[in-house]
Amino acid sequence: MEQPRTRPAQSRPRRPAPLPPQAQGGASGERAAAPAESATVYRAAGKARRPVPPVVQALRRFPNPRLTGLGSGLFCAGTMLVLGLLDGLLLGGSAAVYGVLFLLVSGLTAGWVRKADLVTAPIVVPIAFAVGAAPISDGAGGFGARVMGVVTALAMNAGWLYGGTLVAGVVVIVRKVRLMARRAAQRRAGQVPPAKKAPQPRRRTA
């Protein structure tokens, strides 16, 4: 006898299980957070597009070289020598004009020296003052008279000498503090790992 054929039961498509309320809340939270993030990006872009003050733009256009220790010494001494010659020829050796120019050159020297040679700026500045004081000194005659004239000029204009050295020292200190703060911020952000100590040599045991 033939047995009746039975058709296999067709599997019905399973409906996806409803998401738990936590997941639904998370999806809705993501949708709600999207406009907030776009608004934040828009605000940041709006802040970035604000016009830069003209003073800042002028400072950005100003040359910003990076001189080595020797380069900063040559720059400061050469500039003060040229300014001293011009002061002696045009103004008759005016100490006040030379002192004001020395303050400006001292600030530029301390601002243009590279980070690794910041200490050299307050050292080369007094030497440059003495070099530039030779043309405006009252010494006439031989080498000894010229040296005595430079020493007298340094003694008479010690205020300008100390002032220029102080300006260079303040600029160097400010740059050093900013450099240390930047490095500390980078270490906290994990961008620059702390410097590793060199391994100490092992002692040999007999």
pLDDT in tens, the chain (206 residues): 445 555 555 555 555 555 555 445 544 444 444 444 554 544 544 444 567 666 556 556 666 678 898 999 999 999 999 999 999 889 888 889 999 999 999 999 999 999 989 999 999 999 999 999 988 887 666 777 778 888 888 888 899 999 999 999 999 999 999 999 988 888 888 765 555 555 666 666 55
- The Cα 151–Cα 139 span in angstroms is 10
Check residue 170 and give its pLDDT.
Answer: 95
Q: How far is CA 42 from CA 29, 35, 38, 46, in A?
A: 20, 10, 6, 6
CA distance 112 to 20: 64
Looking at the DSSP bridge assignments, the partners of residue 67 are 113
Q: Token digits for 11?
A: 């599997």
**110 token code pair:** 């301390």
φ, ψ (nearest 5 deg) of residue 139 = -70, 130
Residue 187 CA neighbour count, 13 Å, CB half = 9
Nearest to 119 by CA among 184, 178, 176: 176
- Residues 78 and 205: their CA atoms lie apart, in Å, by 59
Interatomic CA distance for residues 94 and 85, integer angstroms: 11
Chain centroid, CA 115 distance in Å: 8
The overall longest dimension of the chain from CA atoms, in Å, is 145
pTM: 0.61
